[in-house]
């Protein structure tokens, strides 16, 4: 049962536990508040008290659940959950939209962001395309339960897909799940697993990555994050930067789309160099993604 709930709600085990706890505590608070409010009504007959209590609990339940969800960090999930209930009660289907909106959605590119960590680049990308008529950030894919990017997804009300190594590398690379979510384009933003051939084949020239160095130097297996910056400082390089490139079946090997540089001074450390590179990532990655997707859209 719990596995089915995880798949239905697209959450990991820890988040499922927090969601169930929120349901339980919210229901208890709702019942307690309903009984207290019922005391303000001078009603003796059970024929009136019981329907009145049910009415009070029905009204209080969404408020109580939302209140409990905030300290437990599940506000984004329950906000979306209550919206779905509201749509069902009003008779609207979850996917129903006005004709103009449907047309806009049809012409938009749905993008999945793959990330493994805190998600600073993912947040910048989400912010950049928040009001876009071309790109929709439709899915956050993560390989680490508890990663900060999952909190960003919850806050931004973006669906998530938590992936496992066995299925990713020995299965179909979650291509079926991406296709089911109508994903057109994949962005790697601090994703630390090598992308398998099944996925690169399904999304040929539709997967991009950003590397914290000037490829082809300081790339390859094991060259990520602070490992890159430490190696560059140790080598006495005078410049570093970022490389945005297409993803193929070899680490950091795909065709280069864009590069930007930053100078390295004698006082720089791996930490200060990382800060400089992060600024370049945040400044250029969303813009370049937009340019690449626009070219693909023009080819439709």
- DSSP annotation string for the chain: -HHHHHHHHT--HHHHHHHHHHHHHHHHHHHHHHHHHHTTS----HHHHHHHHHHHHHHHHHHHHHHHHTTTT-HHHHHHHHHHHHHHHHT--TT---HHHHHHHHHSEEEEEEESSS-HHHHHHHHHTTT-SSEEEEEEEESSTT-HHHHHHHHHT--EEE--HHHHHHS-TTHHHHHHTT--EEEESS--SPPPHHHHHHTTT-EEEEESS-TTTT-STT--THHHHHHHHHTT-SEEEEEEEE--SSTT-SPEEEEEEEE--TT--HHHHHHHHHHHHHHHHHHHHHHHHHHHHHT-
Is 284 among the residues known to form the active site? no
Rounded CA separation 198/266 (Å)? 44
Given 211, 229, 245, 282, which residue is catalytic? 211
Are the beta carbons of 110 and 136 closer than 8 angstroms?
yes
- List residues with catalytic annotation: 211
């Amino acid at each position: 049962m719990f596995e089915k709930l995880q798949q239905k709600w697209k959450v990991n085990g820890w988040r499922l536990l927090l969601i169930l706890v929120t349901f339980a505590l919210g229901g208890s608070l709702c019942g307690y508040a309903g009984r207290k409010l019922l005391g303000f009504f001078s009603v003796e007959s059970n024929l009136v008290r019981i329907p009145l209590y049910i009415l009070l609990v029905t009204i209080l339940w969404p408020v109580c659940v939302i209140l409990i969800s905030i300290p437990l960090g599940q506000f984004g999930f329950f906000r979306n959950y209550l919206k779905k209930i509201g749509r069902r009660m009003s008779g609207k289907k979850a996917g129903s939209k006005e004709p103009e909106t449907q047309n806009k959605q049809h012409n938009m590119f749905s993008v999945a962001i793959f990330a493994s960590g805190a998600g600073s680049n993912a947040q910048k990308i989400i912010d950049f395309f928040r009001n876009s008529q071309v790109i929709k950030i439709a899915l956050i894919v993560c390989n680490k339960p508890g990663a900060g990017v999952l909190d960003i997804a919850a806050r931004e009300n973006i669906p998530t897909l938590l992936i496992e190594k066995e299925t990713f590398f020995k299965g179909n690379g979650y291509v079926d799940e991406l296709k089911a979510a109508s994903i057109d384009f994949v962005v790697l933003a601090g994703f630390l697993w090598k992308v398998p051939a099944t996925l690169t084949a399904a999304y040929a020239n539709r997967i991009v990555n950003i590397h914290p160095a000037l490829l082809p130097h300081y790339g390859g297996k094991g060259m990520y994050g602070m490992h890159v910056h430490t190696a560059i400082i140790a080598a006495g390089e005078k410049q570093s930067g970022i490389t945005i490139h297409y993803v193929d079946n070899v680490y950091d090997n795909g065709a280069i789309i864009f590069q930007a540089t930053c100078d390295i001074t004698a006082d720089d450390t791996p930490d200060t160099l990382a800060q400089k590179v992060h600024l370049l990532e945040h400044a250029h990655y969303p813009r370049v993604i937009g340019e690449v997707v626009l070219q693909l859209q023009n080819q439709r």
